[in-house]
Structure 1
């Protein structure tokens, strides 16, 4: 809901309530007017105007400039008409004008519609009419004039700030949605296209001849595509998009970047209801990978469970790249009261300190997107603990409550691409 809508509703209520108050005020002062029939005629016209136009102040689209000018005309005209309707003694004694406090509603309409500048102009016109009606610079008149002027200008300024904040928030939400969708697409590209291009480059260089040229071209496209999905980061070694890297990729040079294929494709989760995480992670168990699970089902929404399984697959790929085929890995699933915790541990050499941050800065997004990005979209987290010579442990946490909304948002994003 727009931040302006409550203001327009409040203005509509103000105009209706002040009209009722003004009718009562004129009714009580009827016998004191010099020309009471003129006062009655004005109030009848004002009531008819309100009956025909009260919906104009319920939204900014209905409240046009022409309406605001006409509404202000009723207010200023009623104030000046008081000179001809009321007695001189009542006017000099500070008696209320015909529109009374209803006139402030016309000024507030300008403030909400056009900001503080419009409010300043409208309140100045009402102030001038009040001073002309009073015929002197009386203290109570000046007090009321300044009050209306300051209130309308202040409300107009607040409206401008609110509009600016609303536009900034809308832009931030658009950027966040676009960033999340870009990261999702980047993960899919990283898990498939980039790995295939890296494999073609490496195999082509090994075979030689025409295959080497094909491998070189694949390497160029890999660098360009990697730069694109990294959000404009410079490719490794400061090269330009589309240029071949100055240092060829070596097996194990990055976390899960140059694998010919994932260790095992994450099984797909069908449907939108709860899914047992154990069923998705059990296929990863094989020689060299030990899978431990609780005795009861560990349920997450289907989309969240699939993303968690894909993150585990990426972690196992990293084990094979860095620890080698002889390393052993353990997958442990824990069902906490408010989250699902999956730990992937290996007995490899560990990850050198700062290697993850360096890989992300260089545009290598295996950990940043395939693991950490997936968990972040689910409202969870991924933590690495690595000791040189003692292996690496990756702890993946997915909250049970946050995963439901995140997985639904992910499905909506995929449906819209």
Structure 2
């Protein structure tokens, strides 16, 4: 909803209430006017005008510039008509003009529609009319003029600031949505295209001949694609619906995971999704009871585990042993992936991210960050690596929650 809509509704209510107030004032002072029929005629015309145009101030689209000028003309005309229908003594005693405080509604319409500059111009027109009506710089006249001018200019300035803030917020939301879409696309690329290119490069170099040339070309394309993804130049597109575990490069893909429920928010047992990873060289330990997460959160966690196992195969070698441990805590699900490889040298993760290798930055940390979770690495050279993945139960899969931690 636009930030202006409540202001337009308030202005509509103000104009209606002040019209009623003005009608009561004229009715109570009817016998004191020099020409009461003239005052009654103006109030009748003002009432008809309000009946025909009250909806014009319910939105910015209906409140056109021509309407505002006509509305202000009714107010200024009523002020200038006051000396003709009222006595000079009452005017000098400070009697209200015919439109009274209804005039401020016409000025506020300019403020909301065009900002403080329009408000200043409309207030100046009302000020000149009041001075002509009173024919002197009386203290109460100056007080009323300054009050209307300050209030309208202040409201106009607030409206301009609110509009600028609304545009800034809309732009920030667009950038955030585009960034999340780019990260999801980069994860998908890392889990599929980049791994295939890397495998083609290795196999081509091993086979030799024409295959070696094909492998060299695949390696060049892998480097170019990594640079493109890491620099944020990939155009957003619709993400695919595949959510299975990622296949480790250069190794047989694990058995297909259990199918996800049709509804993204439906509970899903994470054990059924991680179970297919168990096999030669991978030990899977799970609780005896179901460990449930929303379906989309479970799929993202499974993909992160697949990326961690892929790193084990790539960096620890095909003979390394890996262990997957699932823990069901009251507020979160913890999955630990541990291996007995050589470990990660200090600073290697940061260097890999700078080089455009997105396994840790996006396939693992990026997925868990959007779930409100975290990923922690514990590695001692020569003693293996342990990756601890935490996902809060009921986490928002679309980035609605941001978790605390190192992700």
TM over 0.5: yes
Partner of 2:315: 322
Q: For residues 261 and 271 of structure 1, what CA distance do their matches in structure 2 show?
A: 30
Which has the larger displacement, 324-333 or 52-61?
Answer: 324-333
Q: Which runs of 5+ in 1 are unaligned?
A: 234-255, 408-417
Alpha carbons 2:248, 2:307 under 8 Å: kept? no
Q: CA deviation at 1:224?
A: 2.2
TM alignment of 1:2-401, pairs within 5 A: 2-232=2-232, 259-261=249-251, 264=254, 267=257, 268-272=259-263, 273-401=266-394
Which has the larger displacement, 338-347 or 215-224?
Answer: 215-224
Alpha carbons 2:369, 2:399 under 8 Å: kept? no
- Figure out how many residues of one structure are paired with residues of the other and give that number: 386
- Coordinate RMSD, CA, aligned: 2.0
Residues 51-81 of structure 1, C-alpha deviation per residue, up to 9 Å, x if partnerless?
1111111111111111111111111111111
Q: For residues 357 and 394 of structure 1, what CA distance do their matches in structure 2 show?
A: 15
Q: For residues 310 and 270 of structure 1, what CA distance do their matches in structure 2 show?
A: 16
Q: After the TM superposition, which segments of 4 or more aligned residues of structure 1 sit over 6 Å from their partners? A: none
Which has the larger displacement, 120-129 or 396-405?
Answer: 396-405
Q: For residues 144 and 262 of structure 1, what CA distance do their matches in structure 2 show?
A: 84
Residues 99-153 of structure 1, C-alpha deviation per residue, up to 9 Å, x if partnerless?
1111001111111111111111111111111111111111111111111111111
Which has the larger displacement, 321-330 or 91-100?
Answer: 321-330
Residues 298-319 of structure 1, C-alpha deviation per residue, up to 9 Å, x if partnerless?
1111111111111011111112
Query: Relative to structure 1, is the Cα distance of residues 232 and 378 closer, same or farther in structure 2, using a 3 angstrom cutoff?
Result: closer
Q: For residues 365 and 73 of structure 1, what CA distance do their matches in structure 2 show?
A: 66
Q: For residues 111 and 251 of structure 2, what CA distance do their matches in structure 1 show?
A: 63
The normalised TM-score by structure 1 is 0.88
Residues 9-57 of structure 1, C-alpha deviation per residue, up to 9 Å, x if partnerless?
1111111111111111111111111111111111111111111111111
